[in-house]
Structure 1
Amino acid sequence: MNFDVVVTCAVTGAGDTTGKNPHVPVTPKEIADSAIAAAKAGAAVAHIHVRDLETKQGSRDPKLFKEVVDRVRDSNTDVVINLTAGMGGDWVPSAEDPAMPGPGTDMISAEERLLHIGECLPEICSLDCGTLNFGDGDNIYISTPPTLRKMAEMVKEWGVKPELEVFELGHIRFANQMIKEGLIADPPMFQICLGIPWGADQSVDTMKVMKDHLPQDASWASFGISRMQMPMAAAAVAMGGNVRVGLEDNIFLDRGVPARNEDLVTRVVEIIERMGGRAVTPQEARNKLSLRGADAS
């Protein structure tokens, strides 16, 4: 059981959710305001994507990230900023020639994937530790070993903590290899991602198996998607982990009730407290996760 829980709020994501919930933030101001509201509700960490202002789909524009980060920092609201570094790995084969990229493909280099990280220097950035069939279509998310090693090397040099996002056991195996190679600063930090088609299923058994493959000194969190968001949060706390909630992973508070990020944070904090634990402050999260800005004492 984890009695001192780091709550992360994944504020908006990149999925096609804006038409399903009017509270999904799109503009930099909306995303920053939602991150601030989540922090005030008890989230220690805000995991941030940005969206194209016209299409409302996920974007990797460094200017949009910079505006969101500046707005959060200028608000004087204390929250650990965690920026996604997962954009730029989408491959969709062409229907005419599967050897060629089709519409929706967005493949860029490791350096390009980290442009906004280098400019904003958040305390945490995500590092998706492998390739995955993403959903039931032809979309493949690609993160190859050379790309991941280069990204890990760069963020370590900048002092940004990589959140090692793992969607199946092979991802943990490669993350552990990067740790052995000295590419990941101690102690490592993992996010066990459950329920994304076609990654690991969202169940207590799956979470435990994946947790048991992590290094002994690792900090970890987990999340489930849609209606399994809160059950998986409770399971993570019971197993000694931290939690992630937010509109990236689930857009409803209850059946048919669109959520706001702060609603989901409030709900998970209530669950943690009913289990006998508490949500830690951002500074306590920095200390617990050994982030830049942790107390030297």
Structure 2
Amino acid sequence: MNFETIVTCAVTGAGDTVGKSPHIPVTPQQIADAAIEAAKAGAAIAHIHVRDPETGKGSRDVELFKEAVDLVRASDTDVVINLTAGMGGDWVPSEDDPALPGPGTDMIGPEDRLAHIKACLPEICSLDCGTLNFGNGEEIYISTPPTLRRMAQLTQDWGVKPELEVFDLGHIRFAKAMIEEGLIDAPPMFQLCLGIPWGADQTVETMAAMKAQLPPGASWASFGISRMQMPMAAAAVALGGNVRVGLEDNIWLDRGVPATNGQLVARVTEIIERMGGRALTPQEARDQLNLRGANA
């Protein structure tokens, strides 16, 4: 049981949720406001994607990230900023020639995947630790070992802590290899990502199996998607981990009731408290994760 829990709120993501909920933040101002709302509700960490303000689709535009991050930092609300670094690994084979990229492909190298991280220098950024069949279409998310090692080295050089997002046991195996190679500073920070088609299933048994493969001393959190968001959060706390909620992973508060990020954070905080624990402050999270600090 984890009685002192770090709550992360993933406030928007890059998925096709705009139009499915009135609360999905799209513009940098809305995304910053969502991060601040989550922090005021009890989240220590805000996990941030940005979206094209015109289309609502996920974006890796450096200026959009800078605008959102600057707005959060200029506010009077403390929160640890965790930026995604998962954009730029999408491959969709062409229908005419599967050896060539088709519509929807967005493949770039490690330096480009981290351009916004270098520009913003958040305390944390995500590092998706392997390749995955993504959904039921043709899309593949690609992160190769050389790309991941280069990204780990760059973030280490910049003092940004990588959140090792793992979607299967093989991803944990590779993350441990990077730790052994000295590319990841202690304590390593894992996010067990459950329920994403076609990664690990969102069950207590799966979470426990993945936790068992983590290296000694690792900090870890987990999340489930859609209606399994809160059950998986409770399971993570019971198994000794931290939690992630937010509109990136689930847009509902109750059946038919669209959630806000603040409402999801408030609900998981209540669950933690009813289990006898408490949600840590941003500074307590920094201390536990050995982050360099917001103003370093």
Q: Which bin holds the TM-score, normalised by the shorter protein?
A: over 0.9
Size of the aligned set, in residue pairs, is 294
1:182 match: secondary structure = coil
1:284 equivalent in alignment to 2:284: yes
Distance in 2 (alpha carbons) for counterparts of 1:275 and 1:81: 27
The residue number in structure 2 matching 1:188 is 188
The code of the aligned residue for 2:227 comes to: R
Q: CA deviation at 1:293?
A: 2.0
The code of the aligned residue for 2:185 comes to: A
Q: CA deviation at 1:53?
A: 1.1
Distance in 1 (alpha carbons) for counterparts of 2:220 and 2:123: 16
Equivalent residues in 2 for 1:160-179, closer than 5 Å:
160-179=160-179
The residue number in structure 2 matching 1:233 is 233
The code of the aligned residue for 1:292 comes to: R
The residue number in structure 2 matching 1:84 is 84
The residue number in structure 2 matching 1:23 is 23
Distance in 1 (alpha carbons) for counterparts of 2:117 and 2:30: 20
Alignment RMSD: 0.6
Gaps of 5+ in 2: none
Distance in 1 (alpha carbons) for counterparts of 2:184 and 2:76: 30
Distance in 2 (alpha carbons) for counterparts of 1:148 and 1:176: 12
1:53 equivalent in alignment to 2:56: no
The residue number in structure 1 matching 2:130 is 130
Once the two structures are superposed, what CA deviation does each residue of 1:14-53 show, in whole Å capped at 9, x if it has no partner?
0000110010000000000010000000000000000011
The residue number in structure 2 matching 1:145 is 145
1:94 match: secondary structure = coil
1:25 match: secondary structure = coil
Distance in 2 (alpha carbons) for counterparts of 1:139 and 1:24: 24
The residue number in structure 1 matching 2:245 is 245
The code of the aligned residue for 2:158 comes to: W
Moved beyond 3 Å, runs of 4+: none
1:114 equivalent in alignment to 2:95: no
Equivalent residues in 2 for 1:86-101, closer than 5 Å:
86-101=86-101
The residue number in structure 1 matching 2:258 is 258
TM-score by length of 1: 0.98
Q: CA deviation at 1:199?
A: 0.2
1:201 equivalent in alignment to 2:201: yes
Identity across the alignment (%): 78
Once the two structures are superposed, what CA deviation does each residue of 1:54-78 show, in whole Å capped at 9, x if it has no partner?
1101000000000000000000210
The residue number in structure 1 matching 2:66 is 66
Distance in 2 (alpha carbons) for counterparts of 1:103 and 1:289: 39
2:16 match: secondary structure = coil
Once the two structures are superposed, what CA deviation does each residue of 1:132-163 show, in whole Å capped at 9, x if it has no partner?
00000000000000000000000000000000
Gaps of 5+ in 1: none
Distance in 2 (alpha carbons) for counterparts of 1:91 and 1:127: 18
1:10 equivalent in alignment to 2:10: yes
TM-score by length of 2: 0.99
